[in-house]
Chains A and B, each alone.
Chain A
Amino acid sequence: MSVLPYLVAIWVLSWGVYGIVTSHNLVHLVVCLSVAQASTYILLIGVGYRSGATAPIFAEIPSSTPVVDPVVQALALTDIVVEATVSALLLAIAVQTKKRFGTVDPDELRALRG
């Protein structure tokens, strides 16, 4: 089936967002966001794949070998870096939320306070 990887990406995204919406813990919520973002890795790597091709590393293969798209793989690296930084910032905010409000359950964080 030639669209299966894309459907897997949609499936992973859906479960990640489901986790975010139903989360009872801000740390768990950040992990769910990482799951949702993992779907973009699947999509990127899936789009660049070429049947029968190998990794775009020409250290030990002849230069005529068919390889998968190196551009989307480079984009996946950017994606991972952004994911790591977003997680770090959100976790820092979760730490401060716990200190300030004594809870990390989003349902208990109702009113905005200055």
Chain B
Amino acid sequence: MTRPVRLGLFLTGMAALAATLAVAVGDLPGFGHYPGPYGTIIARTGVAARHGTDLVTTVNFDYRVFDTLGEEFILFTAVLGVALVLRRRRGEERTSEEPPEEHHFPGSSSALGAIGLALVGPVLVLGAWVVTHGHLTPGGGFQGGVVLAAAILIVFLAGEYVAMKRVAPHAALELAEASGAAGLALVGLGGLIFAGVFFKNFISLGSPGAILSAGTIPIGNLAVGIEVAGAFLMLWTEFSDQALVVRSR
């Protein structure tokens, strides 16, 4: 198919799709007039029922936690898939585990390195805070996990790729990813064992707003935070390995 034909076909199809969607919009609730029952019920009863003050996290890690388990394993499987697609192929070899010299970006300087490394600690603390306060304020395991992974990535951005691999070796990342994923499943099993229902919130709920409250929600967040941090670092090292470590023979 030539380019103009493809473009013509696309424009026809897209015009039809856009027109259909525009008509469908007429049947959606008007903006600002959300009518759905579920959100209203959770907004009214969620805090009293689960003692978590961030209702988005309460939905993700209590009411819909079974879906979150699936979502977590989507991430797990996708990272596995990336590792599989980027595996060493015939005719490729990895340079020795310690490349002779550090990788430096064009224009990188010792000032960039120093500031980058100084940021690692604060960003790690921020990530841990976002993970552990997910049930109280905006945040949670997914968001905080990415911040945690970014803290380690800063080591790489500071031009210290080998140092980053030493701080976060591949085996440790795999362990973090796998144990985090298993952690959330274990929270579900805990509900099955102690309360008779898979993923039932079986721990004492505490008082709303306290750091130790909302039962299993902060535990689930912690597990997901560890998994997401490991998963994203695995992704980034897989990709940067392609540029920095893997050589075709």
Contact = CB atoms under 8 A, between A and B. Distances in A.
Contacts, number: 150
A17 B75 contact: no
Contacts of A58: 47, 53-55, 208
B39 A70 contact: yes
Interface in A65-107: 66-74, 77-78, 80-82, 84-86, 88-89, 91-93, 95-96, 99, 107
Question: For the complex, would chain B's binding face be called helix, strand, loop or mixed by DSSP majority?
Answer: helix
B33 A2 contact: yes
Sort chain B's interface into a size bin.
Answer: 35 or more
A3 B43 contact: no
A41 interface: no
Sort chain A's interface into a size bin.
Answer: 35 or more
Contacts of B36: 48, 69, 71
B244 interface: no
Interface of A: 2-7, 10, 13-14, 17-18, 21-22, 46-51, 55-59, 63, 66-74, 77-78, 80-82, 84-86, 88-89, 91-93, 95-96, 99, 107
10 contacts: A2-B30, A3-B25, A10-B18, A10-B21, A69-B36, A69-B38, A70-B43, A70-B46, A96-B85, A96-B86
